[in-house]
Structure 1
Amino acid sequence: MAYDLEEQEKLDALRAWWDRYGTLCAVLVFVVVAAIVGWRGWQWYQGHQASQAMGYFEALEGAAGQQGDDAVARIKAASHTLRSDFSKSGYTSRGVLVAAQALESRNDLDGAREQLEWLVKNSSDAALVPLARLRLAGVLLEQKQYDQALAQLNDAPAAFAGLYADRRGDILLAQGKAAEARGAWESALKELGADPVAQIVQLKIDALAGA
């Protein structure tokens, strides 16, 4: 009889505990399960997005290796999709650079410029943005937009100081400022050191001296 009483007391205590904490426990279990499901769903979504972005990047690369108006249309379409639907993907910044190079090589300077301007404005990739600025300055130089080209070369990152100075010299020479161009190229030589590009810069200085 004592055993039955003891069991009853335990059951009563359990019921009392459940009445007090049961709803809270159920809520906590639901939250934990929802968090796990949500995390797995997010991982799947991220993987799916990355896979799709990679597909468009590969399509863009393939089109860049082809010729004709259809190839240009595919380059622009793939780049547009990457920028609009996958702007945060690592494939997008690289794809935009590929698109810009392909369009510039086809003398579509406006198209190349649009790609690079988007990358400079929207990408958070610290390695690619300085390269995009350098290439954008080159496109603007070809378009004779000298002031805008020089503006891209302000605040050069240390790793690009030599290349930026070299491009600045090109722009200054195009403006007819030979002395300033020489100064920029001499600065580039100091920054480039033993880099093979330094040989090209020296040839520019030598050509300027012989002009």
Structure 2
Amino acid sequence: MDPRYSEDEQVEQLKSWWKKNGPSLIIGVVLGLGIVIGWQGWGVYTASRAEEASSLYQLLLGVQSESALEAGDRLIKEFTDTPYAAKAALLLAAAAVKRGDAADGRQHLNWVLENSEESGTLHAARLHLGQLELGEGNIDDALAVLKVGERSAFESHYRELEGDAYSLKGDSASARTAYQESLAVIASDSPYRGFLEAKLADLATIETAQ
């Protein structure tokens, strides 16, 4: 670290450097990763290098700039067969929703559902799409998106969103059942139980007022 600058100044310099060079760096890492995979295969690629690439990708997620979004587009178009493409699509969907472009967000999430083979990524895309549809007032579309047979460790999240959808539809009985089933499968020590219990309490208050 340069002694001429304070710690805060050095941190700001690092942030500035990453905003300018981060997207190009992550693309370079992914390109290098693709070359290694082509020659050696995933099975022999060292865990430390894979973790390094993953860490750099996480840094990309925190970069809010036009160049970062361009990097995401390139990952989708040129590296469709890598896990990074679907993750980039999730990032672009989140950015689209944040700027109020639900249509673009929906397009990216549907791309993930059509192209990804990773169970966790598919569940994340489906749940985010369900949230998007609820936010747009498309309750039936949200419920349709959430209809999936194998929910794995995401059962609680699915049931909670279904509870939200039924609550918005005015179907208190179905909403209560969904929230209760969400609580039934969530860890007993999860701090999120309080949010679900609050939703049940709000539901009871609404029913009493009716």
Superposition TM-score tier, normalisation by shorter sequence: 0.5 to 0.7
- Once the two structures are TM-superposed, the CA of residue 174 in structure 1 deviates from its matched residue by 1.4
Q: 1:74 to 1:151 in 2, by over 3 A?
A: farther
C-alpha deviations, 1:53-72, integer Å up to 9, x for none?
A: x7xx85x936x633xxxx4x
Pairing 1:164–2:158 present = yes
Equivalent in 202, 206, 209 of residue 201 of structure 2:
206
- Once the two structures are TM-superposed, the CA of residue 128 in structure 1 deviates from its matched residue by 0.9
Match of 2:145 in 1: 152
Q: Which moved more, 1:192-201 or 1:115-124?
A: 192-201
C-alpha deviations, 1:93-151, integer Å up to 9, x for none?
A: 22112222222222222221111110011101122111111111000111122222112
SS class of match (1:65):
coil
Unaligned runs of at least 5 residues, structure 2: 1-34, 46-52
Match of 1:35 in 2: none
Pairing 1:65–2:63 present = yes
User: Which consecutive aligned stretches of 4+ in structure 1 deviate over 6 angstroms post-superposition?
Assistant: none
C-alpha deviations, 1:24-51, integer Å up to 9, x for none?
A: xxxxxxxxxxxxxxx999428x99xxxx
C-alpha separation between the residues in 2 aligned to 1:192 and 1:75?
Answer: 35
Q: Where does 1:61-210 land on structure 2 (aligned, <5 Å)?
A: 61=60, 65-66=63-64, 71=65, 74=67, 76-154=69-147, 155-194=149-188, 195-210=190-205
C-alpha separation between the residues in 1 aligned to 2:166 and 2:177?
Answer: 10
Q: Percent identity?
A: 26
C-alpha separation between the residues in 1 aligned to 2:103 and 2:88?
Answer: 17
Normalised TM-score (structure 2)? 0.66
Unaligned runs of at least 5 residues, structure 1: 1-38, 48-53
Match of 2:10 in 1: none
What do you get for the CA RMSD once the two structures are aligned?
Answer: 3.1
- Once the two structures are TM-superposed, the CA of residue 205 in structure 1 deviates from its matched residue by 0.3
C-alpha separation between the residues in 1 aligned to 2:37 and 2:123?
Answer: 35
Pairing 1:43–2:43 present = no
C-alpha separation between the residues in 1 aligned to 2:85 and 2:126?
Answer: 16
Q: 1:140 to 1:116 in 2, by over 3 A?
A: same
8 A Cα contact 1:161 1:188, kept in partner = yes
8 A Cα contact 2:83 2:116, kept in partner = no
C-alpha separation between the residues in 2 aligned to 1:105 and 1:41?
Answer: 34
8 A Cα contact 2:72 2:91, kept in partner = no
